[in-house]
Amino acid sequence: MALPALRPARGRPRTRAQGPPQRERTSSPQIADRIHRLTRGQVADRLQELGDLYAETSGGDPRAWNQARGLFLSHLTADARRPGFSLLIAETTVLTGYAYGFSTGGSGPWWAGFDGHVRGGLLRRAASGRLFVVSGIVVPPRVRREYRDHVWNLARRLLADHLAALGVALVDVRDSRTVETMRSWGWRYAGDDSLQAVSPGPFRILALAPGT
């Protein structure tokens, strides 16, 4: 499973197909791993490897697996073109996890369709340039099970590197598993300065404050 299953630029939630099981990677994205940022050129060079790790976190039949992998790579490539894009990887001798996203302002196509669902405090942070959208967190199942307290450190590092006041992620309201997993990592429902539940809509807006 790749976390979160977020809203791509064209407004439809990402789906996660189940694909063939592969060799699990056991290192933690925080302990004994080297965490560093990839340039856009390095992302392009390692795109297939990034897609392979995404596929490793999925399951299902080969056709669905390939379709989901291709869709994921398409969204990642589109995000990589955005201003303020950043991708952090954790690796030892192999890639063990990564997280990526981009800085956003208070207007633009990313916000389309969220009128009435995004409260003032979130927009004020965005307008100040201190809101960072975490588009994806990709970590294999065994790492998530064995390092619950550390696996989401990649998202925190993204926020720290960009001096963000708040990180946000959009999750399909039907994907309760992703919501609960992210909440166990310290994410909260994003409200108006109080991290309370937002108005009903097609997505849950989750927020992560630096240092939490």
CA-nearest of 120, 134, 128 to 207 is 134
135/149 Cα distance (integer angstroms): 21
CATH number for the domain including 85?
3.40.630.30
Residue 91 to residues 64, 67, 99, 188: CA-CA distances in angstroms?
27, 26, 12, 28
Average pLDDT per consecutive 10 residues, the chain (212 residues; last block may be shorter): 45 36 47 80 95 80 78 92 92 88 73 56 64 87 68 80 82 86 83 49 79 64
What is the per-residue pLDDT across 178-190, written as a single tens digit (0 to 9) for each? 888 888 888 888 7
41/55 Cα distance (integer angstroms): 22
What is the per-residue pLDDT across 116-148, written as a single tens digit (0 to 9) for each? 555 556 666 665 667 888 999 988 877 777 766
Determine contact, residues 37/161, Cβ cutoff 8 Å: yes
Residue 133: phi and psi, rounded to 5, are -85, 120
**Could you tell me the residue range of the domain that residue 144 belongs to?**
2-208
Number of domains in the chain: 1
